[in-house]
Structure formats: C-alpha cells, structure tokens
DNA sequence: GCCGTTTTCGGCCCGACTGTTTTCAGTCG
C-alpha cells in the first residue's frame, strides 16, 4: 500500500466515525494523522516509524502498520459493516453533520438519500427531538438539489462570477474596502463558494445594497456580521460576505482567507505565547487586551514571521519557513517583462499582430513572442512555411517602427504530430526566434506513446518550450498521460523549458509540479496563450499559480530583460 | 485519538448563525 492509499483509509475512518456521531476530537485525530503523512515529503517506505510524526500516536500508527502489513484495516472493515455506505452522501448536504445523520439512522432507519427523502415526505423527521418543521423542509430541498449540482466549481467560472460581484461592491459607498478571501484568494483550482471580507461602519446598509445589486436567488443566512447568498447563476453558487470594521480588516482577512489548517497552526502558535487569534484581532489571554493590525504583514510580524503570501497558506511548512526568512522571494507580476505565447488572426487568434503588440506594450511589457499554430492543426488555421515567412516579414516591419521601444519576436506553437514527428523541418525552425512545441491531437494515447512524442520534441535543438504540458482543462478534461517526473528530468537534460499556462481553465503545470521543476533547476515560462486582447489579462492568474508553487523570478524565462532574452535564444540549448 | 520547557489528565482553534429550544447543540467555515 502506498502513502496515498494509507491517507485515504485514515480519512475514510474519520468519515465513518463522524457518521457514528463519535467524539469530534477522535475524528479529527484520524484526519490529523492523514495530514501528517501528506505533509511529509517522504514516501511510505522511507518513513520508518510513523508514530514519530507529530499527530500520529499509538492508535493511528497501529492502523498504518496494519495497512502496510495486511493491506486492510480491521477498524475500517468493522465501521463499514456497522454504518451503511449510503450515509456518506448525506454528509455533503448543507445543515447535516454526523450527529444528526446518526440520529436519522438510529431513529428512522435512514440509510441513503432516497430513504431520507421518504422520511422527510412522511413528516417523520420533524418529529425527532432536535429537528423541526424547518429542518425537515431544508433537508428535503437539499436532497432534491444534490442530484444536479457539482460540489466544487472550477476557478475560471468563479473568477467570472467574482468579477461581477466586484462591480457591485465597487459602487457601494458605505464600503470602505473589500477583498476576496477563502479559496478564491488562495487561488485553489476548484472551490465550493466565494468569500468576501468587507470593511464598513454600516453592515446593514451594505447587506441591503448587495442584495439589491446582485442577482440573488436566496439569502441563506444573515446576521450582524455576515450574510450568505445564493446567486442566480447557472449552478447557484453560494457567496459569503463578512462585515468588519476597518481596524479589524487585516485579522478578518487573514482569518477568512484560511486555509483552515493554516489558521489552526497560527492559533496554536499564538496560544503558545499566551495569545488568542480570532477574526477580530489578537487577544492577550491574561489582560484581555486586543490588538489589531494595519496589514496582514504587521499581523504576521507580531508572531515573528514574514508575510506569508495567501496562495501558500496551506498549513504545511509555510509557517516554519516564514520564521526563518526575511521574505518569500516569489515571482510577482512586476517581474514579468514579456508574454511568450500568443495567437493572432494568422491562425485562430482574434486580433492582428499589431493589436496584440500594442496591448502588450500598454501592459508595460518590453517584448512578446508571436506563436501561431503550425500547418497540421487545420482546425485552428495553422500556418504553413509560406505564411510563416509572410508573418515574419510583417513582424520585421512592425519592429522597424518600434525602434528600441519594444520588440516582437517571431515564433510558433508547433504541433507535435500523433506519430511524434514535428510539424516543421529544422531549416524552417532555424529561421524563427523562439519555438514552442505542444500536443494538440491524439490525447488518448498511452503514456509510453505520449512520452515518446514529448521526448522527440524536447530533443530537437530548436524547441525551447513545451506548452501546456498535460493539456488538461480544469474540471472538464483530465489531460493526456504524462509521466511528469520523467518529463521534468528530460527538461533538465535537454535544456527545454516548461510552460505554466496562465489561462484560468488550464493552469498547467500545476503548482506541485512547477515546484518540482524548479527544484530540478528546470526553467519555466508563464504565458497567457492569448487568443484575444482580454486574454492577455490572465497573466496575474498564472503568476499567482506560480507563487503557489514557490516559484522565484529567476526560474521564469519571461522575467528576463529583452537583452538577456535575446542572448538566451542565441545560445544553444543547455548552454 | 493525541499531546505535554505548565501537564500522563484534561484539554484539543474560534466565533457566527440557525433552529430548536427556554439556555443551547449542531453545523459551518
């Protein structure tokens, strides 16, 4: 059994204990044990004594040892025999937790969604102690909605909704300031809902104005300090607004940004020095005095930490690292000097070379690379050698006008054909400034075939970058079968860079893999792959994804100055 | 179930809101 499987069993045990209405601390002990394994970089085999990890004690270590020896857990098997499997789905219904589900099971014989629905319709649920008419109605509604609604939504969709929300927030005068919080601020790839923290002296007025301005289908909660609504969008996404005073804003923002695990660790740290963290500030447990902070940076500084970027607050090693460092020296949008991957009307882009160049120049970039598709990708209007040459001539004319103010480099996003051949000859590639290679066809080939294709591209002396290395679309398409460890190793051996595609539905490579790539001294490029002017605006999403992977500016090709980049593309690969 | 430069027992992160209750448990983030 590998570590992933062991983690899964520990989490399963926790879930079953929850369904039994067990002691919450016992439940979280199993979750903590799973987390301890997950946060350790070693493989299961490399961890000699699991009990030596913080969070794993006698009981959980015994389960782990048993799993490694026999491949199963008596405890889990017993739980499974005791608790109907159909109850697992009930935990996902809002308003239902382990205690209530245990009661429904014991008193009414509810075993799954269907029997729960029947119990509600027979009005048996409202008769239970601790339940009532309203609860029964809520449960029934939730059961009916559960069949059609995904649990989590891709970031691309949530970013669009949040842009609409912010148009409303921006125009409410009673709001002093606001910020995204939660998973959206941490830029998780998939998330359940959207969170905002709002500084205001008039929470009631703001709540009313939000309800007025947004298309809301239901207000699911409203109190003095918070409001939760369901949007009238395709899926009925839920949005939480937290209202705080200006003084509380920094601690509230930290609190509602999470992650939960990060917050737990911060609070333990505070507790060890006699303080208590809440969304309202940091309280001295002895004197009761409460401190607030002007920024998250000041908040972290109070605990002897440098500012921890929101996107790495996962409750892993970031707090220990923050105690050691002056700052996290990650890449920022300001480091980005260029975009190395974009399309024009020559292939499937919506704007001309000049229009793309002008938009990039207005973003403050110093250079760009035009990389239209190559001839085999007919659906995208890929360029043949003749059109490529014409394009190059147009680029030279535009460059002549720019003088030293800006530069357009001529490139291609060359197709790696299904049989591994490349779409252009070396003679053609030699005439280009920057060559990207990518897979666009035959996604379902087996790993060996896909890897052979990638290998051939990487071995080519002109191919500088592999674009969107897995081809996934978040929440929709898994991507092709890439052995990522091998790909990173080859990238290192051949001096080929890998792309972090900034398109919010791609973000490919993931943060975990760009981190591994950086550790292997592989260069990365953060590119928008823009097919239109507004897609050039995706760069910050890509940069944040890179920061999630702890990427430093020197790892990223497009942080190079133009002069440095020109020298770089003249050097042979692996120089 | 885990943990202890206060501790081998008694805590375990903290607070808001809802719906059920007459003072609070359960759920959520």
- Whether A131 sits with its Cβ under 7 A from any strand B atom: the answer reads yes
- Whether A523 sits with its Cβ under 7 A from any strand B atom: the answer reads no
**Distance in angstroms: CA A279, C1' B20:** 27
pLDDT band at A366 (very low <50, low <70, confident <90, very high): very high
pLDDT, average across residues A364-385: 93
- Whether A101 sits with its Cβ under 7 A from any strand B atom: the answer reads yes
Closest nucleotide over all strands to A270 (CA to C1'): B13
pLDDT band at A151 (very low <50, low <70, confident <90, very high): confident
Q: Where are the alpha helices (DSSP H) in A337-478?
A: 353-362, 385-402, 426-430, 447-459
Element holding A124 (H helix, E strand): none
pLDDT for A452 equals 96
Q: What 3-state class would DSSP assign to A154?
A: strand
Domains and CATH numbers, chain A: 3-146 (1.10.150.110), 153-244 (3.30.460.10), 257-324 (3.30.210.10), 333-570 (3.20.20.140)
pLDDT for A575 equals 64
Q: For CA atoms A258, A262, A268, A273, give the dihedral sign.
A: negative
Q: Residue A162 has which token pair?
A: 């949040």
pLDDT for A24 equals 85
- Strand-pairing partners, residue A366, are none
Chain A window 24-43: residues with CB closer than 7 Å to nucleic chain B are 25-26, 28-30, 32-33
Q: For CA atoms A43, A46, A51, A54, give the dihedral sign.
A: negative
**Distance in angstroms: CA A99, C1' B8:** 30
pLDDT for A46 equals 87
Q: Where are the alpha helices (DSSP H) in A71-108?
A: 74-82, 98-108
Q: What is the dihedral of CA A370, A420, A508, A547, to 10 degrees?
A: -80
Top-confidence residue, A36 or A194? A194
pLDDT for A73 equals 93
pLDDT, average across residues A170-180: 95
- Whether A204 sits with its Cβ under 7 A from any strand B atom: the answer reads no
Closest nucleotide over all strands to A96 (CA to C1'): B27
**Distance in angstroms: CA A33, C1' B16:** 29
pLDDT for A234 equals 87
pLDDT for A21 equals 81
pLDDT for A286 equals 79
Closest protein CA to C1' of nucleotide B14, residue: A278
Radius of gyration of chain A (CA): 27
CA distance A49 to A51: 5
pLDDT, average across residues A543-559: 97
pLDDT, average across residues A7-29: 88
Chain A window 205-224: residues with CB closer than 7 Å to nucleic chain B are 221-224
Q: Residue A109 has which token pair?
A: 């014989």
- Whether A476 sits with its Cβ under 7 A from any strand B atom: the answer reads no
In tens, the pLDDT along A197-240 reads 999 999 999 999 999 999 998 898 898 899 999 999 988 899 99
- Whether A263 sits with its Cβ under 7 A from any strand B atom: the answer reads yes
**Distance in angstroms: CA A26, C1' B8:** 18
- Whether A276 sits with its Cβ under 7 A from any strand B atom: the answer reads yes
In tens, the pLDDT along A306-357 reads 999 999 999 888 998 999 999 999 999 999 999 999 999 999 999 999 999 9
- Strand-pairing partners, residue A410, are A370
CA distance A252 to A250: 5
- Whether A129 sits with its Cβ under 7 A from any strand B atom: the answer reads yes
Closest protein CA to C1' of nucleotide B28, residue: A95
Contact A204, A188 (CB under 8 A): no
- Whether A126 sits with its Cβ under 7 A from any strand B atom: the answer reads yes
In tens, the pLDDT along A404-454 reads 999 999 999 999 999 999 999 999 999 999 999 999 999 889 999 999 999
User: Which residue, among A357, A334, A337, has the nearest Cα to A558 in the 3D structure?
Assistant: A337
- Whether A378 sits with its Cβ under 7 A from any strand B atom: the answer reads no
**Distance in angstroms: CA A23, C1' B9:** 17
pLDDT more than 90, % of chain A? 72
**Distance in angstroms: CA A3, C1' B1:** 20
- Whether A472 sits with its Cβ under 7 A from any strand B atom: the answer reads no
Q: Which residue is it, tokens 């990487």?
A: A458
pLDDT for A313 equals 94
CA distance A520 to A516: 6
- Whether A236 sits with its Cβ under 7 A from any strand B atom: the answer reads no
pLDDT band at A297 (very low <50, low <70, confident <90, very high): very high
In tens, the pLDDT along A275-293 reads 889 888 998 887 888 899 9
CA distance A437 to A435: 7
- Strand B: list positions under 7 Å from protein Cβ: 1-4, 11-21, 25-29
């Amino acid at each position: 059994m590998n570590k992933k499987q062991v983690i899964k069993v520990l989490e399963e045990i926790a879930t079953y204990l929850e369904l039994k209405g067990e002691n919450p601390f016992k439940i979280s002990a199993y979750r903590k044990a799973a987390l301890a394994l997950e946060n350790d970089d070693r493989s299961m085999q490399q961890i000699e004594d699991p009990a030596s990890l913080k969070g794993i004690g006698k009981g959980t270590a015994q389960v782990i040892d048993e799993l490694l020896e026999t491949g199963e857990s008596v405890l889990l098997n017993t739980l499974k025999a005791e608790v109907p499997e159909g109850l697992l789905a009930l935990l996902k219904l809002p308003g239902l937790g382990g205690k209530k589900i245990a009661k429904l099971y014991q008193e009414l014989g509810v075993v799954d969604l269907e029997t729960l629905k029947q119990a509600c319709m027979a009005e048996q649920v409202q008769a239970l102690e601790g339940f009532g008419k309203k609860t029964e109605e809520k449960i029934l509604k939730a059961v009916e909605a559960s069949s059609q609604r995904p649990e989590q939504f891709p970031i691309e969709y949530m970013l669009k909704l949040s842009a609409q929300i912010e148009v409303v927030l921006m125009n409410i005068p009673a709001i002093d300031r606001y910020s995204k919080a939660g998973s959206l601020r941490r830029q998780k790839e998939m998330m359940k809902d959207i969170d905002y923290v709002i500084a205001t002296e008039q929470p009631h007025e703001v709540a009313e104005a939000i309800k007025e301005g947004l298309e809301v289908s239901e207000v699911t909660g409203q109190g003095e300090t918070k409001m939760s609504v369901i949007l009238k969008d395709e899926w009925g996404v839920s949005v939480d607004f937290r209202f705080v005073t200006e003084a509380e804003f920094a601690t509230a923002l930290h609190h509602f940004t999470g992650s939960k695990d990060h917050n737990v660790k911060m609070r333990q740290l505070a507790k060890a020095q006699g303080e208590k963290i809440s969304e309202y500030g940091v309280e001295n447990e002895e004197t009761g005095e409460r401190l607030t902070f002007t920024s998250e940076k000041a908040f972290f500084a109070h605990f002897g930490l440098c500012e921890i970027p929101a996107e790495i607050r996962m409750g892993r090693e970031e707090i220990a690292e923050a105690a050691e460092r002056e700052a996290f020296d990650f890449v920022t949008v300001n480091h980005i000097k260029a975009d190395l991957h974009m399309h024009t009307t020559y292939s499937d882009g919506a704007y001309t070379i000049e229009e793309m160049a002008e938009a990039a120049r207005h973003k403050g970039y110093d250079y760009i690379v035009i990389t239209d598709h190559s001839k085999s990708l007919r659906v995208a209007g890929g360029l043949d050698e003749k059109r490529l040459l014409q394009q190059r001539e147009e680029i030279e004319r535009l460059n002549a006008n720019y003088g030293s103010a800006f530069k357009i480099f001529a490139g291609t996003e060359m197709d790696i054909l299904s049989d591994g051949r490349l779409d252009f000859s070396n003679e053609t590639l030699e005439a280009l400034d920057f060559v990207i290679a990518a897979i666009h066809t035959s996604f379902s080939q087996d790993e060996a075939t896909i890897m052979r294709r990638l290998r051939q591209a990487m071995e080519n002396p002109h191919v500088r970058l592999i674009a969107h290395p897995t081809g996934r679309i978040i929440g929709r398409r898994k991507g092709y079968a890439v052995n990522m460890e091998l790909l990173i190793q080859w990238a290192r051996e051949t001096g080929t860079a890998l792309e972090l595609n900034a398109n919010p539905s791609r973000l490919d490579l993931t943060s975990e893999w760009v981190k591994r790539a950086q550790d292997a001294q592989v260069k990365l490029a953060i590119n928008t792959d823009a097919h239109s002017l507004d897609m050039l605006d995706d760069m910050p999403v890509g940069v944040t994804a890179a920061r999630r992977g702890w990427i430093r500016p020197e790892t990223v090709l497009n942080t190079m100055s133009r002069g440095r980049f020109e020298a770089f593309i003249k050097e042979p690969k692996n120089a």
